[in-house]
Every structure is written in C-alpha cells, then in structure tokens.
Amino acid sequence: MLILGSHVSYKNDTQLVGSVKEALSYGSNTFMFYTGAPQNTQRGTINDLLTIDALNLMKENNIALENVICHAPYIVNLANNQDLEKYQFAQDFLRNEINRCETLGVRYIVLHPGSATKLERSYAIDNIVNGINNVLVEEDNIVILLETMAGKGTELGINIDEIKYIIDHINFQDKVGVCLDTCHLNDSGIDIAKFDDYLSEFESKIGLNKIGCIHVNDSKNPINSHKDRHENLGFGTIGWDNLLNVIYHPSLENVPKILETPYVNRDFAPYKQEIEAIKNKQFNPNLYEDILNYYHKN
Ligand code: FE
Ligand code: FE
Ligand code: ZN
C-alpha cells in the first residue's frame, strides 16, 4: 500500500489534532510535523487530551501512528562542539524531542545530521556520533532517521559513506535509520534517473531496511548543485517520471513518502493536488492553476 502524505503544521492550541485534520484534507494516509516552528526551539507541553482526540481521528481514517514522522528543527547542530554550551543544548533539545515523540507514540524522528562549520569534517562527524550516543537510552522506542543532505555549505551526511559512518558508530543500532530526500540526493550529485544504482549501493553499504522515510521533492537546481531548493513534482530538474519511480519503487513499498514541496504563491499548499496526481500516476501540467482555483473556491 502506498503510504503518502506531506509536511503539515502543528500549532500549540490544536497540536496533533490540527496536524491530522490538515493531512486528511490532502487525502494523505500519513504526515510529517514539527513539534513547533522548524526554525526555532521553543516548544509547548503536550496536551494528552488532544493526543487522544488525534489518535481516535487517525484510527477512524486509517492513518497508522507507526507511519507518522516528526522532524527535529533545522537549527539543532550536533556536529559543532566549538561552543560546548550550544553542543549540550543541541543534545538536550534532541532528548526532549525524543521524549515528546514517546509521549505522542510517534516512532520516527528525522534529523539533519549537522554542519561542520569551521571544524574538520571527520572531527565534526564524530561530534554527531557522540551527541546521538549521549542522548539515546536503551528504553527509547524511537528511531532517529538521519536525512541525506544536499551538501549546502558545510553540511554533513551528503553521501552514503558519511551516513554509513554515523550509523555504524551508534550504540543502539535499532534506534537509527535514514530518511532519503530526493531533492537533496539530486543536489548532492545522485542521478535520480539511475535510482536503482543508488539503491544497490545503499543496500550493500547500509541496507535498505534502514530507510524509514522518503522525502519526495523535485529540485529547482541541477544535479550536484549543492543548493537544496525544493520544487513541485514534475516542475524541477528531477522530473515526474523519475520521482514516480521512487514513490512506487517495489523495494520501498512500506516506507512512508512525505512531500515537502513549495507552497504556490507562498500561501497555498500544493499537497492535495500533488497527492491526487501521484495516486493517478499522471503528471498534472495545470497544477498551479488547479491549486489556485481550489483555494479560491474554498
Ligand atoms: Fe529535512
Ligand atoms: Fe527533506
Ligand atoms: Zn531540503
């Protein structure tokens, strides 16, 4: 079964209930949320009554909690320990994020591995390993999914070998996995038209069973551009057919697919129309018009 959804908002007053309702409005059967604004680390407390409402709503609509994804904020940087206070803060934040996910019953947490900034890459990558190992405990029921990065600036986790290095050094192997992002892969130099080659390298070095989530995005920039700017499916350099091949890849059938494609005119979420096109397996050249018409009617 296709497990498909998008990034949705999470507001402190409606919490997961609001996220589920938004996901349902797009025709999704899963979703990804941040427990607060993605660009900051202010987080409210979880209201258990709202969580119960959300879980009931999910049950009624066949959204399995095990397919729901939480995304840690971008600014958590476990790679840099130049400022030990900030390094500790990043670990504490991740710890609290894990606790929030445990409270909600959410299993997967997507994490950007981090950026080396002024540090040596090999040293910075060990900071990531140590940071994650400091945070995880045996009792944790979550899986941290390291996201494959585009290679913007000094980002780490920009190829299979870097991701493999981190995973291999994590103490609790069952609590770490990978989130593939097709835009990031393209921008890091992977040709999505040859996705099978990538998967066979991934299988031999890490194992396909480690893939816990796929971010399906087209890219505004050419392969190997190290930019990281997402585009709507079929409107970028990766192209519709290549993305559809990823979404329906038989080896990745049970992996949740999440859209993080850009809003139209900054205001209008494209996900209902993109999800429709994916389910129809038919590129919609009138996507923008359809989205604008939809929001003007509703
Ligand atoms: Fe991400
Ligand atoms: Fe992503
Ligand atoms: Zn991105």
Tell me the CA–centroid distance for residue 17 and ligand 1, in Å.
22
Nearest ligand for residue 219 CA: 3
Which residues keep their CB under 5 angstroms from ion ligand 2?
Answer: 181, 215
Distance 62 CA to ligand 1 centre (A): 25
CB-based neighbours (< 5 A) of ligand 3, an ion: 228
What pLDDT is attached to residue 175?
Answer: 98
The ligand with the least distance to the CA atom of 215 is 2
pLDDT, one tens digit for every residue, the chain (298 residues): 999 999 999 999 999 999 999 999 999 999 999 988 777 878 889 999 999 999 999 999 999 999 999 999 888 999 999 999 999 999 999 999 999 999 999 999 999 999 999 999 999 999 999 999 999 999 999 999 999 999 999 999 999 999 999 999 999 999 999 999 999 999 999 999 999 999 999 999 999 999 999 999 999 999 999 999 999 999 999 999 999 999 999 999 999 999 999 999 999 999 999 999 999 999 999 999 999 999 987 7
Distance 138 CA to ligand 1 centre (A): 26
Residues 90, 78 contacting (CB under 8 angstroms):
yes
Cα–Cα dist 80/130, whole Å = 11
Find the ligand nearest to 34 CA: 1
Q: What confidence score (pLDDT) does residue 37 get?
A: 78
Identify the residue whose tokens are 């070998």: 161
Q: What is the pLDDT of residue 74?
A: 83
The predicted pLDDT at position 298 comes to 73
Look at residue 204 in the predicted model and tell me its pLDDT: 98
Instruction: Tell me how far the alpha carbon of residue 235 lies from the centroid of ligand 3, in angstroms.
Output: 16
Give the pLDDT score at 154: 98
